[in-house]
Structure formats: structure tokens, C-alpha cells
Amino acid sequence: MSKASKILVSGLLLLILLGSLAGYLLYKVFLKPNTWVKDESASIVYIPTGSGIEELKTALYEKGIIINRLTFEWLAKRKNLEANIHPGKYSIRDGMTNIELINFLRSGKQTPVRVTFNNIRTKENLAQKLSKEIEPDSVEIINLLKDSDYLKIFGFSPETILAMFIPNTYEVYWNISAKEMMDRLFTEYNKFWTQERRNKADQIGLSPVEVSILASIVEKETNKNDEKARMAGVYLNRLEKNWMLQADPTVVFANGDFTIKRVLNIHKEIDSPYNTYKYYGLPPGPICVPSIASIDGVLNREIHKYMFFCAKEDFSGYHSFAETHAQHTINANKYRQALDRNNIK
């Protein structure tokens, strides 16, 4: 083989080698899977509002999702990912290529979160619950729940705001702002309070907020949905006759000690507008976020002549109802004796 031929062959071999190397590099950068996700929890990446490229890389790298950081960063720079970062919750698939991952992050197609709340006692409880599911922290949320001027937008006050929250599961984006979350929940409140429900509230002489206040008392009196309408009827009978409600759960709320199991006379001495042993009518606001079952129990209250109730002595969770104080005394004594027999203080 002539010298010229050898040079030509060598050149061709070099070009093939360089082409192969370039092809491999292109494959490695663009087409080779570059994410590794061991389980579903590891696939979730949160990108906080205001994040730059360094925060994004930290979020990915801390989870160990990126296999080859060098190729990811090289392509991210050329795709200008830094200028297209969207906050939110993202579910990264196992085996994504760099180009797939970068395009996915640039798209802002985040995964919604499901916010569920029930058994909420106070505004602080609600703020803590929400902050575990969405980006705003509990301080930011509680500040809104205590802001009188802001709450006027919705027609509520710091005392009544718990009535605006209807326990359910809501799908939102993780980076929703605290005010956007309030707007969403107000929309859900208006959807819940249909004309039919509002008409029922009118029929018993209560506003929707007052219904929720009474429902919150019923909520803490019983967890038996099938007796909530009857219990609501007792309280409405007392309101109609201008009696004090004398509801033990309001005393617990007034004392701020939710460990109280048995309300004693000393607990009833607290001077608070929430103490329905001292003040007539409904308290200033809900003593918890009432369930839909309790709200509908009030709206569909049972019409009867019962004025009293107390827990059954069998500890079933149900209550004995009475029309007269004499019958109520008999029922109450049975319950107290059962407490004493079981050494329950």
C-alpha cells in the first residue's frame, strides 16, 4: 500500500473514531437514561418559589436522582433551563433522558397535591395542617386567619373564620399562595352552601355561620352521625326558649384545655363569651371546624320536645334524651355512677 493510501486509510479511521466518539457523546447527553428513582417517595422533588438553577440542582442531587451530573448540567445550560424554572411539586420518572427531564422541568407540569382536613380544633391547628401540604408556612397562614381587615373580604372575622372551611379533600398545586388557598376554600364554601341549604338555615332562623357554630358544638358532643339531628334539636329548643345552651364542649374550648374529659363546676367558672354556662345564645364563633354531617344535622334538625341529654351509661357513645329535668337527673345519675364504677375522673 502506498504512503498516500496509508494516510487516507488512517484519516478515514480517525474520522470514524471521532464520529463514533461524537455519536457516543451525543447519545450520552441526549438519549441515555440519566435518572434513577428507587421508589415513589424518592421521585418527588419540591422546587420552592424563587428558586434558581443552583436550588434546582440541589433539589435533584439531594434525592440522588441524577446519574451523570456533568451531562445534565451541560445540556441544561444549552437549553437555558435557568431562565425557565417553575416552582412546584414534580414527580420524576425513572429512566428519563436529560432532554426529557429538562423539557419536563421547563414545562412546569407539576403534580397536584391533595389537601385533606378534618378534626380541626383551632385556627392554629388548621394553619399547621395546611402548611404540611402546601408551600406557605403556618405563620403566613395564621396571620391571614387573624387579620380582621383581610377576612372582611370573605364576610368573616377571626372569631367566625373556621365556619368558612368545609372538611373535604381539595386538589391544588403545592406552590399555591396562602391567599390563593383562601380564595379556593371560599369558592368551595359557596359551592357547599347551596340555595337548598341556605333555605333550610332560614327555616330554623340561623345564618350559615350560625349553623356552623351550632354544628361545631354538636360535632364535639357526639361522633354518632345518626343522633346529630336529634341533638341539634335540643339546642334549637333551648335557643327558642331563651335558655342557656350549657354545652360542655364550649367550656372546654373556653378553658383552652382539650385534655378535659369531665367538665367540672370549676371549669364552668371561666369568664369567656364561649362559656355557654355563663352567657346566653351561641358563642362568638365555631369551637372547631364542623363536619358536613354535623352541619347537615343542624339543617335537618329533628323536631321534638327534648331539652336535655347526657351520655349513656353503657359508654356506647350515644346519649339519653329527656324532656324534663327530673328525667334528665335520673339519666345523668346513671352515667355518673357508671363513671365512678369504672374509676373515670
Q: Checking phi first, is residue 218 left (phi over 0); if not, alpha (psi -120 to 50) or beta?
A: alpha
- Which of 146, 167, 192 is where one domain is finished? 192
- 8 A C-beta contact, residue 223 and residue 317: yes
Is 103 in the same domain as 173? no
Is residue 293 in some structural domain? yes
Is residue 131 in some structural domain? yes
Is 236 in the same domain as 281? yes
Is residue 174 in some structural domain? yes
pLDDT for position 21: 44
Is residue 68 in some structural domain? yes
pLDDT for position 233: 98
pLDDT for position 228: 98
CATH number for position 70: 3.30.1490.480
pLDDT for position 3: 57
Is residue 309 in some structural domain? no
Is residue 71 in some structural domain? yes
Is residue 345 in some structural domain? no
Number of folded domains in the chain? 3
Q: State the Cα–Cα distance between residues 231 and 221, nearest whole angstrom.
A: 8
The domain in which residue 280 lies consists of 195-304
- Which of 139, 164, 192 is where one domain is finished? 192
Is residue 274 in some structural domain? yes
Q: How far is CA 176 from CA 48, 66, 131, 145, 184, in A?
A: 11, 27, 11, 16, 10
- Which of 140, 163, 192 is where one domain is finished? 192
pLDDT for position 344: 74
Residue 334 is placed in which grid cell? Answer: 346513671
HEC letters along the chain: CCHHHHHHHHHHHHHHHHHHHHHHHHHHHHHCECECCCCCHHHEEEECCCCCHHHHHHHHHHCCCECCHHHHHHHHHHCCHHHCCCCEEEECCCCCEHHHHHHHHHHCCCCCEEEECCCCCCHHHHHHHHHCCCCCCHHHHHHHHCCHHHHHHHCCCCCCHHHHCCCCEEEECCCCCHHHHHHHHHHHHHHHCCHHHHHHHHHCCCCHHHHHHHHHHHHHHCCCHHHHHHHHHHHHHHHHCCCCCCCHHHHHHHHCCCCCCCCCCCHHHCCCCCCCCCCCCCCCCCCCCCCHHHHHHHHCCCCCCCCEEEECCCCCCCEEEECCHHHHHHHHHHHHHHHHHCCCC
345 residues of the chain, pLDDT tens digit each: 555 555 554 554 444 544 444 444 454 555 789 999 887 766 899 999 999 999 999 999 998 999 999 999 999 999 999 999 999 999 999 999 999 999 999 999 999 999 998 889 999 999 999 999 999 999 999 999 999 999 999 999 999 999 999 999 999 999 999 999 999 999 999 999 999 999 999 999 999 999 999 999 999 999 999 999 999 999 999 999 999 999 999 999 999 999 888 888 999 999 999 999 999 999 999 999 999 999 999 999 999 999 999 999 999 999 999 999 999 999 999 998 988 888 776
Is 231 in the same domain as 300? yes
